[in-house]
Amino acid sequence: ILKSFHGFHPAPQRLCSRFLSGPGAPSWNDYVRPKEFNFASYVLDYWAQMEMEGKRGPNPALWWVNNQGDELKWSFREMTDLTRRTANVLTQTCGLQEGDYLALILPRVPEWWLVAVGCIRTGIIFMPGTTQMKAKDIVYRLQASKAKGIVTTDTLAPVVDSLASEYPGLKTKLLVSDQSCKGWLDFRSLIKSASPDHVCIKSKTLDPMAVFFTSGTSGLPKMTKHSHGLALRSFLPSCRQFLKLKTSDVFWCPSDTGWIMSMLGSLLEPWTAGSTVFVHHLSPFDPKNMIQTFFKYPITYCLAAPSVFRMILQQNPTSLRFPTLEHCCAGGEALLPEEQEQWRKQTGILLYQAYGQSETGVTCGIFRGMKIKPGSMGKAIPPFDIQIIDDKGNILPPDTEGNLGIRIKPVKPLGLFMCYENDPVKTEEVECGDFYNTGDRATVDTEGYFFFLGRADDIINASGYRIGPSEVENALAEHPAVAESAVVSSPDPIRGEVVKAFIVLTPKFLSHDRDQLTKELQQHVKSVTAPYKYPRKVEFVPVLPKTITGKIKRSELRKKEFGQM
Ligand code: ATP
Ligand code: MG
């Protein structure tokens, strides 16, 4: 096992010896389950110590920049100091306690990292949420979690205040701003005067740590509750092998702070490896700015949604040969082989793929250095045992479409969500025999590579053929007229259901004859994929409906087709 870390930082062995030593201690592997784990004390404080001993390079722990030219660099020692102060602000000034819920609704400001880790130090369960939320989204989250506190900016403070009658349960309101606001505690000044001495809680690995909201691609967002085991999972050999991060890496995950991807990519994964977390306060998301950022800062690693890579490619810049970028990984939505290939051609870097959910964290992926199979989302990342199962939980053979399931019996693996908060019915619903059913349809080949077909609801059943939207979308993407497309099922009096494509055209094709283009695109799909998949209906649209995360809401288009909206 130790050999597998060769070439990486020594943290896992050292850290593991801290909590796994003693007679009869299990050897360090993907299946260990120490009773206690706390990311703040085991990871952050460890790297702070390494810095003090001169055993970590000069790169900061957090490197934050914005469009106004502001820049901030914090070492692990500073992070430790500041997050201990934050822990004291949360418990002493705000009176929050272990087990209380705190809504954390901040843009990519450095304080997001302070509050998240401050909560981990104190056992306060934090709930990241995107700042793009509106009043009704916020009140839904507060009510569902019975949150005791909220941390947000001056833009959202009045919105929160307007909800006081609907949700009177807020004991603490913390403001991150340079201005003050009546009724709100000023985080920036409190932290300056708070004590840097704080004793981290000894959290049990399976104690709750955070609640993440799903993207709401298919309905209302669900609250997935995670234990400290989620952070421990980043620590396991398989996760380290997946990303293969070094302390010298500068890791950029531009995902919104409201999503689990940000928690993994902007906090847990890079810091576990002692790497630098790079943050750009880009707001709103701007691909041109992203390109400049890749040229300006020594970013080595980027984890983002496929749409981010897609938008960068669509800029048609003169060069995408980034000086320091070494590795890219896309996750959160289907990555089309066409985009993967374009990215490789233009940047010279392979675009890897990962698959995960708010419920599961990173689930499978192409490990760094592993052979890429176009369109595959990679292999299972232990301790997850992933199988393709039928609706009763029976394992299906390779190359057979089924549900993507994660084994939860006899033992639920580390990193899998505890439950949907306040929703035992839904929690039970997703259990399927010995498995957790992700609700996604996929196949696995004989080498263990998984291929995503679509969300169970998105699969089209046309004249007995089962068609995953991304197969058709990928074929369409190869045509120069198509900037983006969404393929859904549409009712048909004879066939029952047919394939319909909603297409956003590239600027060059906007003035083309639509009937002609429809025929051409249909012909194109027939020529590059099995002809039965071609879209019998085509509609050109200026934009596609998307979630705040930028995922295509196929369910919305489908409901419209079936007249349910
Ligand atoms: P909701 O559950 O509220 O409808 P959501 O499922 O989009 O929203 P998330 O937890 O953010 O919320 O996203 C997880 C889903 O994203 C997966 O279940 C899958 O459908 C999709 N996904 C993630 N990674 C990939 C990938 N590599 N390829 C295809 N789809 C992916
Ligand atoms: Mg989901």
Residues around the ion ligand 2 (C-beta < 5 A): 214
Ligand 1 in reach of 474 Cβ (< 6 A): no
Report the nearest atom of ligand 1 relative to the CA of 547: 7
Ligand 1 in reach of 39 Cβ (< 6 A): no
Ligand 1 in reach of 214 Cβ (< 6 A): yes
Instruction: Work out the number of other CB atoms within 10 angstroms of the CB of residue 403.
Output: 21
Instruction: Work out the number of other CB atoms within 10 angstroms of the CB of residue 139.
Output: 17
Ligand 1 in reach of 222 Cβ (< 6 A): yes
User: What is the Å distance from ligand 2's center to 215 Cα?
Assistant: 7
Ligand 1 in reach of 306 Cβ (< 6 A): no
Ligand 1 in reach of 440 Cβ (< 6 A): yes
User: Encoding tokens for residue 156?
Assistant: 């959202």
Ligand 1 in reach of 353 Cβ (< 6 A): yes
Ligand 1 in reach of 274 Cβ (< 6 A): no
Handedness of CA 334, 335, 339, 343 (dihedral sign): positive
ipTM: 0.99
In this structure, the strands spanning 101-104 and 125-128 are parallel
Quick one: pLDDT at residue 177?
96
Query: Cβ distance 129 to 103 under 8 Å?
Result: yes
Quick one: pLDDT at residue 357?
97
Residue nearest to atom 23 of ligand 1 (CA): 332
Quick one: pLDDT at residue 117?
98
Which ligand is nearest to the Cα of residue 212, counting in written order? 1
Report the nearest atom of ligand 1 relative to the CA of 439: 18
Question: Percent helix, strand, coil in the chain (nearest 5)?
Answer: 35, 25, 45
The strands making up 125-128's β-sheet, listed across from edge to edge, are 185-186, 172-175, 149-152, 101-104, 125-128, 208-213, 223-227, 419-420
Is residue 410 reached through a cis peptide bond, with omega within 30 degrees of 0 on the bond before it?
yes
Ligand 1 in reach of 216 Cβ (< 6 A): yes
User: Encoding tokens for residue 256?
Assistant: 């919104």
Query: Cβ distance 60 to 276 under 8 Å?
Result: yes
Ligand 1 in reach of 187 Cβ (< 6 A): no
Residue nearest to atom 3 of ligand 1 (CA): 216
How many angstroms separate the CA atoms of 368 and 415, rounded?
21
Which ligand is nearest to the Cα of residue 215, counting in written order? 1
Instruction: Work out the number of other CB atoms within 10 angstroms of the CB of residue 181.
Output: 15
How many angstroms separate the CA atoms of 303 and 259, rounded?
13
Query: Cβ distance 87 to 118 under 8 Å?
Result: yes
Ligand 1 in reach of 441 Cβ (< 6 A): no
Quick one: pLDDT at residue 565?
57
pLDDT tens-place values along the chain, 565 residues long: 233 333 333 344 455 444 443 334 445 688 888 999 999 999 999 999 999 999 999 999 999 999 999 999 999 999 999 999 999 999 999 999 999 999 999 999 999 999 999 999 999 999 999 998 889 889 999 998 999 999 999 999 999 999 999 999 999 999 999 999 999 999 999 999 999 999 999 999 999 999 999 988 887 889 999 999 999 999 899 999 999 999 999 999 999 999 999 999 999 999 999 999 999 998 667 899 999 999 999 999 999 999 899 889 988 888 899 999 999 999 999 998 988 999 999 999 999 999 999 999 999 999 999 999 999 999 999 999 999 999 999 999 999 999 999 999 999 999 999 999 989 999 999 999 999 999 999 999 999 999 999 999 999 988 888 898 988 998 999 999 999 999 999 999 888 899 999 999 999 999 999 999 999 999 999 998 888 999 999 999 999 998 877 789 999 999 999 987 5
Ligand 1 in reach of 258 Cβ (< 6 A): no
Pure H helices in 146-282: 157-161, 187-193, 229-233, 237-243, 260-263, 269-272
Residue nearest to atom 28 of ligand 1 (CA): 334
How many angstroms separate the CA atoms of 287 and 320, rounded?
12
Ligand 1 in reach of 377 Cβ (< 6 A): yes
Q: Of the residues 213, 358, 420, which should be mutated to test ligand 1's pocket, given the most ligand atoms within 8 Å of the CB?
A: 358
Q: Of the residues 421, 426, 440, 487, which should be mutated to test ligand 1's pocket, given the most ligand atoms within 8 Å of the CB?
A: 440
User: What is the Å distance from ligand 2's center to 439 Cα?
Assistant: 7
Ligand 1 in reach of 470 Cβ (< 6 A): no
User: What is the Å distance from ligand 2's center to 217 Cα?
Assistant: 7
How many angstroms separate the CA atoms of 140 and 333, rounded?
25
Ligand 1 in reach of 75 Cβ (< 6 A): no
Three-state DSSP class for 425?
A: helix
User: What is the Å distance from ligand 1's center to 253 Cα?
Assistant: 17
Three-state DSSP class for 445?
A: coil
Pure H helices in 53-186: 76-88, 110-122, 135-145, 157-161
Query: DSSP secondary-structure letter at 125?
Result: E
CA distances from 349 to 103, 290, 323 (A): 38, 16, 11
Which ligand is nearest to the Cα of residue 440, counting in written order? 1
Q: Which of 402, 398, 399, 397 is nearest to 432 (CA)?
A: 402
Q: Of the residues 217, 261, 444, 547, which should be mutated to test ligand 1's pocket, given the most ligand atoms within 8 Å of the CB?
A: 217
- Provide the residue type at 555 as one letter: S
Quick one: pLDDT at residue 79?
98
In this structure, the strands spanning 431-432 and 419-420 are unpaired
Report the nearest atom of ligand 1 relative to the CA of 377: 27
Query: Cβ distance 210 to 126 under 8 Å?
Result: yes
